[in-house]
Amino acid sequence: MAIPVETLPGQVAQVDFGDVGKLYDPRAGVLRRAYVFVMVLGYSRHMFARIVFDQSTETWIRLHIDAFESFGGVPAVIVPDNLKAAVIRAAFAIDDKSVLNRSYRELARHYGCKIDPAPPYTPEHKGKVESAVKYVKHNFMRPRDELDVSVLRPQLDAWVEEVAGQRVHGTTRKAPRHRFETVERAALLPLPQSPHEMAIWHAAKVHTDSHVVFDKAMYSVPWRFVGKQVTVRACRDSIALFFEDIRIATHERAAAGKRRTHEAHLPEGRRELRHRSQSNWEERADALGDEVGAYIREVFASDDVLLQLRTVQAIVTYLEGHPAHRARAACARARYFASYSYGAIKNILRKGLDLQSLPGVVLPERGRLERPRLARDIKELLAAPLEDTDAPH
């Protein structure tokens, strides 16, 4: 048995999506499954309608904002269906409690309205919007051969005002637009002075590199949360990450494929290793002194095939933990003896050899000899007596 419900002006609006088949998306250049979003005011039956290509949370929130702006106010109660953009968990029994999407909850809090989801499998509880969606599909969409959404959207706006808004409604026996303008508009809650900052909430797992992925971009969190489930709150320009409702990181929004990393989020002693360019390590060496910079460049050049990046990383990070004058002296000594290993630098500093004066003899450059060690001068060979091959041995 259906019980008719009397709705006061400004009290309730019902919202829902309706499938309108495949339409042409000029941005993608293809036909896509399309939907009509409808918000209908319970008292006047005045509606807001918009054609979209998805039912995502972001689209759902944006359409509510557009509807409120179109009405010039906010209904006290919104009655949505149980789609995921609105309700995370539906209430199937009287003692159950609906769990709202956090983005939808933030929207309602900002605009001062309440959310009253319809019970599952009970379309009659939101019959006004069910009828409004059918009315749009059968009276606006069906007679049209046009498929381009960029053409249909302004046509739908005009049709809502000039046709749907001016008809005599079958239940109220009044024109929805007139009933809205004369009675219901004034009963709506006023729009907030500040615009709503749309935020999308998303659950994400922290990967072994201390980053989470959201919208194809990567954001770091403190490394101790590796393997944990965190919550992402994404706004237009910023990303905030929470663990058990405690904020643990904030980043500027990144484009798809990009990475946002705070050095402090990575394990101490390993965070520097993420930098792989030779120029970065040469610059860090130069900051310790000219001798260090020159030595590091020689380490890179010490093997014509094998990249010496790991050796350089170990040497530079080790030297950064010592006074600059000792780092310079250690590199000067290692250069003098052409020793290009982490172990050589470590032994010099550990044994205090950097505090000793270098020998006065200038050693040849590594890999070059003034003359081969085992070679004899040609004159010496020519001066030697020739061997008599007939002499007995």
pLDDT tens by residue, the chain, 393 residues: 455 667 899 999 999 999 999 999 999 999 999 999 999 999 999 999 999 999 888 899 999 999 999 999 999 999 987 676 666 544 333 343 445 788 888 999 999 999 988 766 555 567 899 999 999 999 998 877 889 999 999 999 999 999 999 999 988 899 999 999 999 999 999 999 999 988 888 889 999 888 999 999 999 999 899 999 999 999 989 999 999 989 999 999 999 999 898 888 877 655 555 566 788 889 889 999 999 999 999 999 988 888 888 898 889 889 988 999 999 999 999 999 999 999 999 999 999 998 988 887 655 555 555 555 556 666 666 666 666 656 555
**Cβ(270)–Cβ(210) below 8 Å:** no
Mark whether 115 and 175 lie in a shared domain.
yes
Distance CA 258, CA 303 (A): 33
pLDDT at 310: 86
- In eight-state DSSP terms, residue 331 is H
**Cβ(101)–Cβ(87) below 8 Å:** yes
Residue finishing a domain among 187, 219, 253: 187
**Cβ(91)–Cβ(98) below 8 Å:** yes
Mark whether 100 and 217 lie in a shared domain.
no
Write down how long the chain is. Answer: 393
Mark whether 171 and 258 lie in a shared domain.
no
Mark whether 171 and 279 lie in a shared domain.
no
pLDDT at 97: 44
Whether 254 is covered by a domain: the verdict is yes
pLDDT at 384: 63
**Cβ(41)–Cβ(72) below 8 Å:** no
In terms of Cβ atoms closer than 10 Å to its own Cβ (0-12, 13-18, 19+), residue 91 is middle
Strands 259-260 and 217-220: parallel
Residue finishing a domain among 248, 271, 294: 271
**Cβ(104)–Cβ(115) below 8 Å:** yes
pLDDT at 86: 64
Mark whether 165 and 251 lie in a shared domain.
no
Whether 239 is covered by a domain: the verdict is yes
pLDDT at 280: 80
- Fill in the amino acid letter for 68: F
Determine the 3-state secondary structure of 124 from DSSP. helix
Closest CA to 220 of 178, 187, 264, 278: 264
Distance CA 65, CA 62 (A): 5
Mark whether 87 and 138 lie in a shared domain.
yes
Mark whether 209 and 335 lie in a shared domain.
no
Whether 371 is covered by a domain: the verdict is no
Task: Report the CATH number that the domain containing residue 123 is assigned in CATH.
Answer: 3.30.420.10
Distance CA 230, CA 5 (A): 43
Task: Please name the residues in contact with 103: beta carbons below 8 A apart, sequence gap of 6 or more.
Answer: 57, 58, 61, 85, 198, 199, 200, 201
Mark whether 330 and 349 lie in a shared domain.
yes
